[in-house]
Amino acid sequence: MVNYKELGLVNTKDMFARAIKGGYAIPAFNFNNMEQLQAIVKAAVETKSPVILQVSKGARNYANQTLLRYMAEGAVEYAKELGCAHPEIVLHLDHGDSFELCKSCIDMGFSSVMIDGSHLPYEENVALTKKVVEYAHQFDVTVEGELGVLAGVEDEVCAEHHTYTNPEEVIDFATRTGCDSLAISIGTSHGAYKFKPEQCHVDPATGRLVPPPLAFEVLDAVMEKLPGFPIVLHGSSSVPQEEVDTINKFGGKLEAAIGIPEEELRKAAKSAVCKINIDSDSRLAMTAAIRQVFAEKPAEFDPRKYLGPARDNMEKLYKHKIINVLGSDNKLAQC
């Protein structure tokens, strides 16, 4: 077994407590490869922000669990090399779907895991989450549970319709499971196609689709039931239209791709929402940069020549999210 502390990682407990008190949210960025990891770590260090490196089940299979362990350790050392004496980096399993997967990640050095039993009947969700918590807490690993179902598709996570979190269940769930944070459903959605066109209205000034607002009344009710408890928002990419436009300009075909408005995420970040998940935005930034290189330099075949610009574009995106959306910049005094 590898304990995350041996890798220089931290769990989410202290950073969440500070985030709630300070009225900001910790960025939780999904990654699948080295370029994404480099961009995330560099952006976090340059903005002096704690950061959560998220790995889905699919990403773990893609990258290999052994390589991930060393990539996480390398991320900590890279942050120090960039000048951050005491980086706060979490390695988190996103949407774990079984006890066995969560246990395997904990045993391989993850400092935080999510067990997603939201698709199960309530009592089964409670039992599964509690089982993961009991194992994880032996090793000081933090656990995120989920109540409510998010629509959309991302890796293995797929649901056609969302179900808002029932505020009446959150006290019972948090108390019985012992989870450290709770992902809730208030209208966010996975993927780049979060809403159907008929759910949106058209902005007369820009001609772009505007999605329906998030259900902040559900968030307020949850916070009333669980004051000071760490809340998580999944499916919170904003799907930057400039990246979508670039992709489409250079041969892509993303039609009606739309995300969560950043002003709504800023509002959420000032509440008990202390972790906001972002995945699709970095995929779009990466793809846009690569497509542009291929279109403008069709003879190019050196991966460094197109993955380098992709990495730079993702770093720019991450910095923007940290500073202008989540407000987590300058929260590391020794970074």
Closest CA to 34 of 3, 72, 4, 65: 72
Residues 6+ apart with CB under 8 A from 271: 23, 219, 223, 231
Region class of 208: left (phi > 0), else alpha (psi between -120 and 50), else beta: beta
Q: Point out the catalytic residue in the list 14, 94, 220, 312.
A: 94
Give Cα 293 distance to the centre of its chain.
Answer: 27
Contact 102, 134 (CB under 8 A): no
Contact 29, 52 (CB under 8 A): yes
134 in a labelled binding site: no
146 in a labelled binding site: yes
User: Which amino acid belongs to residue 150?
Assistant: L
162 in a labelled binding site: no
Strands 142-147 and 112-115: parallel
172 in a labelled binding site: no
Assigned token pair, 149: 């179902």
Q: Alpha helices, DSSP H only, in the chain?
A: 13-22, 34-46, 57-63, 65-81, 99-107, 122-136, 167-177, 216-225, 241-249, 262-269, 280-296, 303-320
Greatest CA separation for the chain: 60
Active site residue 140: no
Q: How far apart are CA 10 and CA 206, in angstroms?
A: 43
Question: How many other β-carbons are positioned within 10 Å of the β-carbon of residue 183?
Answer: 26
Q: How far apart are CA 225 and CA 300, in angstroms?
A: 56
Region class of 86: left (phi > 0), else alpha (psi between -120 and 50), else beta: beta
Strands 89-96 and 151-154: unpaired
234 in a labelled binding site: yes
Q: So which residues are the catalytic ones?
A: 94
Residues belonging to the binding site are: 95, 116, 146, 190, 234
Q: Residues forming the annotated binding site for Zn(2+)?
A: 95, 116, 146, 190, 234
